[in-house]
């Protein structure tokens, strides 16, 4: 969220906290305050839920999984690639020239979809040569391992984009819930003053907190604590 949205959230949470502290007193006097209090509580709860979900979309776990899958795919590729190089070296398969020029480093440097395409091409050209590759100690299990490792690696290449889209949607939801919180507060602003005769300290503190919109940035920090009831 933006700094302004974070500041608003912090102010709204403090205001909600004040109303919660005094709830027994004001609810006994003014039950019509309850729906807007509940609406504020629900809206801020939804904002917090979306923030937690968004925080769970971190890239550290994804990056580790992708790196491990890439290493596994390259490991499987090298067994097959060495067999391809051996066949090409014998001079009986000139069509393997392009594949035979590959090394672990060249495959690693490709990255992303070109890397996956090269691994898929290696498997594609190796399959019809399975019998000849078997003489180079490349087994059917080795070919299957290359196929499976590449298939497992490929879907991970799209994960960052998926995370970005999901995070954007969650942020939009959070902003909508902040809008609901604003509506609830505006309605409370109309009714809370009516408690001035019976609960003047509550009313005074309510509007003091409502003015704190630019108090600080980040996770609601720098907002004042709630004073005890008089």
pLDDT (tens digit per residue) in 156-215 = 776 554 444 444 444 466 677 788 888 999 999 999 999 999 999 999 999 999 886 544
Residue 137 has pLDDT above 90, yes or no: yes
Q: From CA 177, how far away is CA 36, in angstroms rounded?
A: 14
Q: Tokens at residue 39, please?
A: 């609406």
Percent of the chain topping pLDDT 90: 53
Query: How is residue 32 written in tokens?
Result: 């019509």
Distance of CA 96 to CAs 30, 124, 179, Å?
Answer: 84, 12, 63
Asked if residue 105 has pLDDT above 60, the reply is yes
Predicted TM-score (pTM) of this structure:
0.45
Q: Which of 42, 41, 4, 46 is nearest to 218 (CA)?
A: 4
The single-letter DSSP state of residue 58 is -
What pLDDT score does 78 carry?
94
Q: How many CB atoms lie within 10 A of CB 88?
A: 18
């Amino acid at each position: 969220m933006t700094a302004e949205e974070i500041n608003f959230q912090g102010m709204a949470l403090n205001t909600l906290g004040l109303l919660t502290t005094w709830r027994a007193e004001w609810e006994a006097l003014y039950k019509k305050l309850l729906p807007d209090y509940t609406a504020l509580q629900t809206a801020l709860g939804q904002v917090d839920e979306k923030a937690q979900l968004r925080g769970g979309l971190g890239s550290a776990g994804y990056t580790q999984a992708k790196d491990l899958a890439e290493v596994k795919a390259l490991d499987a590729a090298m067994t097959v690639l060495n067999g391809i190089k051996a066949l090409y070296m014998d001079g009986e398969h000139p069509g393997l020239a392009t594949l035979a020029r590959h090394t672990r480093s060249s495959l690693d440097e490709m990255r992303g979809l070109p890397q996956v395409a090269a691994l898929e091409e290696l498997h594609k050209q190796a399959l019809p040569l399975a019998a000849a590759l078997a003489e180079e100690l490349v087994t059917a299990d080795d070919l299957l391992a290359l196929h499976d490792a590449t298939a497992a690696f490929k879907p991970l290449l799209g994960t960052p984009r998926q995370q970005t889209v999901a995070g954007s949607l969650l942020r939009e939801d959070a902003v909508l819930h902040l809008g609901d919180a604003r509506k609830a507060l505006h309605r409370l602003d109309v009714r809370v003053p009516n408690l001035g005769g019976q609960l003047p300290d509550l009313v005074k503190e309510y509007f003091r907190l409502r003015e704190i919109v630019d108090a600080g940035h980040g996770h609601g920090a720098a907002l004042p604590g709630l004073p005890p009831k008089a």
